[in-house]
Amino acid sequence: MTYASSRIAKVGLALSVAAAMTAAVPATASAQNAGVFRCDSPGSKQESGAVIGALLGGLLGNQAARNERTAGTVVGAGLGAAAGSYIGCKSQTKDDSNRGVYARDGQRLANYVLPARYERTNARMTAVTNVSLRAGPSTSTARVGSLQRGQTFQAAAYANDGQWVLVSRDGVGIGYVHAGYVRPVNGYRTAAGW
C-alpha cells in the first residue's frame, strides 16, 4: 500500500468513526433544555447540524493536525458535531417560538398542540422512561418531541380524565405525554392521578 492510499484509508476510517459517534446525536434529540445532545423544540435541524459539523470538523481537524491526522480528524469531528448540534438546536428553538401560541380553556398552547378538557395542575414531574410527546392526548396524533428517562418537566394540566399530561415550557403547553410514563418529582399522588 502506498503512503497516499494509506493516508486516504486512515482519513476515511477516522471520518467513519466520527460519523458513527455523531449518529448517536439524532437519536438523543428530545424535549430537554437546549444543549449539545438534546433540544427542547421539535425538528431536525439539530441532527443535520451535528452531521454537517462532524464532517466539516473532521476535515478541519485532519488538516490542522500535523503529526497525528487520525486523532485530529476524530477530535475535530467530535467538536464539529457538538457545535453543529448546538447551532441547529438554537435554530429549531427559534423556529418553534415563531410558530405562535394560542389560548384555550385557560391554557396557553403552542399552535401545533391540540386543545383538550383540562384539569389544572402545576407540578414538577419526571419521565420514568423515554417517551414521545404528542400533539394531542392520543397516540394517533403527531409526535412533536420526546422526554428522556429521568428528565424533569413542568406539568400544566391533566387531560382526558388524567390519562395524559400537558407538558409546559415557559408557561406554554408544548405537547402531551401519557400519564403512565411520568410521575411527580415529589412522589405524591393527587386526585387527578400522580
- H or E, element range at 173: strand 172-178
Residue 167: give the domain boundaries.
101-184
Q: Mean of the pLDDT values across residues 40-68?
A: 83
Which residue would you say has higher pLDDT here, 19 or 50? Answer: 50
Per the structure, the count of domains in the chain is: 2
Give domain status of residue 194, yes or no.
Answer: no
Q: Are residues 49 and 90 in the same domain?
A: yes
- Which of 79, 98, 117 is the endpoint of a domain? 98
| Residue 49, in any domain of the structure | yes
Query: What is the reported pTM?
Result: 0.50
pLDDT (tens digit per residue) in 161-187: 999 999 999 889 999 999 999 999 976
- In the block, which residue shows the cell 482519513? 11
Under a CB-based contact definition with an 8 Å cutoff, are residues 55 and 77 in contact? yes
* Domain boundary pick from 98, 115, 133: 98
Considering the domain boundaries, does residue 129 fall inside one? yes
> Which of these three, 98, 133, 150, is where a domain ends?
98
